[in-house]
Structure 1
Amino acid sequence: MTSHSDVIDEARKATDTSPPLATLGGEKKRSIEQITLLLFITVPFLALVAAVPLAWGWGVSWLDVGLLVFFYYLGCHGITIGFHRYFTHGSFKAKRPLRIALAIMGSLAVEGPLVRWVADHRKHHKFSDAEGDPHSPWKYGETVPALLKGLWWAHIGWMFDEEQTSQEKYAPDLVKDPALRAISRQFVLWTALSLLLPALIGGLVTMSWWGAFTAFFWGSLVRVALLHHVTWSINSICHAVGKRPFKSRDRSGNVWWLAVLSCGESWHNLHHADPTSARHGVMRGQLDSSARFIRIFERLGWAYDVRWPSRSRIDSRRNDADGGSRRRKEAAEAA
């Protein structure tokens, strides 16, 4: 029997003659898209491989290093604060100027359109390390060969999968927002801006084509490759190794040596134990620059209703063994 909602859906499909939106797919990736993706991955990676011998040959200026660091952390925080904690998980609410700024900052990281990124990540959390997860390193099993294959899949391989996450299903809130949908569709524009700005700055500061070239090499290609692999390591490494002091239904772990480069995202175990938390590094000594910036935004009045984790909330998510030892330590200190 056909329901009333089914009839409405069929009528809408029949009367909707507008062209499909570039970031609203959910069926299959086209070959041209896969080729473009391959170029975006391989070209910056080749630059990263060539960086050390080239630096040995003709050096790298402080301007190049400054551009690399600035644009790296601009895009990284755009991903961690914007795409991830805000758009995907709603860890806080943002006033519209900040909302737009975070969408653009994340787009400058060259990790894909906003709507697609969010849809993929929400699906990842729904099926984390189980069947349906777009990028679990445990996809092929738990033997060493299977895990090695799975690590490659979780790190890069999954992006070439023909099937796409339905963005209308997993990110309907973003699909309905005209401004965010436009930013998502303009991904090529933000990519071009991200790659050309360092070269433009380098050329203008040095007033030379060579300065523009070296700035492009370090501030664009090497920077994008480094950020890509750090972000992908959260999908692969942080779901294969690391400490797990908190209860989660998957194999997410904390990997301390990625914390600074990932802007706090590698404290991944707490994130999967409490996905909406605005802070991922909740234990002593766990650096989380993304949480610091969210705190600044909150104090400036740009962000509000921030989901800061309380001590009781953190303790409720601890593994029994870890929580028990902590309570014994606190009791001993109190005595």
Structure 2
Amino acid sequence: MTAAPDAPVTEPRKKREPIPEYEPEPRGKAERYTVFAFVFVPLLALLAAVPFFWGWGLSLLDIAIAAVFYVISGLGITVGFHRLFTHGSYRAKRPLKIALAIAGSMAIEGSVVKWVADHRRHHKYADAEGDPHSPWRFGEDWKSVAKGLYYAHMAWMYLDEKKTSPRRFAPDLLKDRDIALIDKLFLPIVLFSLFAPALIGGLVTMSWWGALTAFFWASLVRVALLHHVTWSVNSICHTIGEENFEVRDRSRNVWWLAVPSFGESWHNLHHADPTCARHGALKGQIDISARTIWVFEKLGWATKVRWPNNDRLAAKRVKV
């Protein structure tokens, strides 16, 4: 009898090191100054809008252009960046996916991959250590909360030197060729978002004045207004409002932000059930983004939509 050959020696599998949550290189000064400019230049335009409005400088054309760009870019954020790309509340056919990624980029709140990575990190650590924009990071007395509100609303974008790692929080988007390309084209999309209103206003009125007022109202003021509505979900909706569903953080519902935020301010249910396509699931809660997704579903552009489940909602309701 011949002896059985020795079993081949196999090396033990090396344990995969987890991808760090932050980029190895911190946010540089140039990047922070750029973000600062994109935050405050539209804000200054918004502050100037009231005195500019009285008596001159605003036409129905300016309002119409601003409204169209606000709706397109706003729904690009809520229906696209948030409910589709961050949470996978539904699946979109390729043309819709591309259109929503471009529309969300037009809001000038960051490229699609960066936006999604930051927001996924927010959900992982909501109102705890690691949350990039919790208003409770400094404490619970009124001075700390006031400071936290400012930080959560806008300051975190240019004061925090750490950068969320897309490889850790958005690897699926990096592998998507369409989304990766749109992410790289963020700057041209920003330029289009800023200057297309001026071009439209100038061509319709055939005047430089029409181009200037359209740029002021439909570019700067529109961007500023959308910014602060979106950021209010990070700050106000984690500080005040109603709690209808049990959550582990301080997300709340703020009814008066529902229409301008397209339903995003029904924030309490969103944190209770993040992948749900409808945030305003209770009676009387207007959710324009959910209705838009419903239309996409009826047209066959969106599939596998995660609508609210009554049993799941009932289990999460706050007991009165």
Of the three residues 84, 87, 97, the one matched with 1:86 is 84
Distance 1:197 1:145 in 2: 42
Determine if contact 1:115/1:184 at 8 Å carries over to the other structure: yes
Determine if contact 1:81/1:102 at 8 Å carries over to the other structure: yes
Distance 1:56 1:5 in 2: 66
- Give how far 1:4 is off: 3.3
| TM superposition outliers: structure 1 runs of 4+ over 6 Å | none
TM-score when scaled to structure 2? 0.93
Of the three residues 33, 38, 49, the one matched with 2:47 is 49
- Give how far 1:284 is off: 1.0
- Give how far 1:310 is off: 2.0
Greater helix percent: which structure?
Answer: 1
Q: Which residue of 1 aligns with 2:287?
A: 288
Q: Which residue of 1 aligns with 2:244?
A: 245
Distance 2:89 2:217 in 1: 33
Are residues 1:66 and 2:69 paired?
A: no
Determine if contact 1:123/1:134 at 8 Å carries over to the other structure: yes
Distance 1:296 1:255 in 2: 25
Determine if contact 2:57/2:213 at 8 Å carries over to the other structure: no
1:271 maps to amino acid: H
Determine if contact 1:154/1:236 at 8 Å carries over to the other structure: yes
1:102 maps to amino acid: L
Q: Which residue of 2 aligns with 1:30?
A: 28
TM-score when scaled to structure 1? 0.89
Secondary structure of 2:54's counterpart equals helix
Distance 1:118 1:190 in 2: 17
Determine if contact 1:119/1:166 at 8 Å carries over to the other structure: yes
Q: Which residue of 2 aligns with 1:221?
A: 220
Secondary structure of 1:156's counterpart equals helix
Determine if contact 1:26/1:165 at 8 Å carries over to the other structure: no
1:132 maps to amino acid: G
Q: Which residue of 2 aligns with 1:132?
A: 130
Are residues 1:4 and 2:14 paired?
A: yes
Distance 1:235 1:27 in 2: 26
- Give how far 1:192 is off: 0.2
Secondary structure of 2:251's counterpart equals coil
Are residues 1:235 and 2:237 paired?
A: no
The one-character-per-residue Cα deviations of 1:232-265 (angstroms, maximum 9, x if unpaired) are: 0000000000000101100000000000000000
Distance 2:170 2:298 in 1: 29
Are residues 1:210 and 2:209 paired?
A: yes
- Give how far 1:136 is off: 0.2
Distance 1:99 1:46 in 2: 33
Distance 2:53 2:164 in 1: 40
Q: Which residue of 2 aligns with 1:21?
A: none
Determine if contact 2:199/2:211 at 8 Å carries over to the other structure: yes
Distance 1:142 1:93 in 2: 40
- Give how far 1:57 is off: 3.8
Are residues 1:77 and 2:87 paired?
A: no
Q: Which residue of 1 aligns with 2:161?
A: 162
- Give how far 1:2 is off: 9.0
The one-character-per-residue Cα deviations of 1:179-213 (angstroms, maximum 9, x if unpaired) are: 21111121111100000110010001000000000
Secondary structure of 1:261's counterpart equals coil
C-alpha spacing 1:92/1:255, structure 2 compared with 1 (3 Å): same
Distance 2:59 2:136 in 1: 42
Secondary structure of 1:58's counterpart equals coil
Are residues 1:95 and 2:93 paired?
A: yes
Aligned residues: 306
Distance 1:39 1:80 in 2: 24
Determine if contact 1:26/1:167 at 8 Å carries over to the other structure: no
Are residues 1:171 and 2:170 paired?
A: yes
- Give how far 1:26 is off: 5.8
Determine if contact 2:23/2:162 at 8 Å carries over to the other structure: no
* C-alpha RMSD of matched pairs (Å): 1.7
Distance 2:15 2:219 in 1: 49
- Give how far 1:27 is off: 3.4
Determine if contact 1:238/1:254 at 8 Å carries over to the other structure: yes
Q: Which residue of 2 aligns with 1:120?
A: 118
Q: Which runs of 5+ in 2 are unaligned?
A: 1-10
1:31 maps to amino acid: K
Q: Which residue of 1 aligns with 2:311?
A: 312
The one-character-per-residue Cα deviations of 1:23-75 (angstroms, maximum 9, x if unpaired) are: x9563112111111111111111110000101114141000011111111111
1:281 maps to amino acid: G
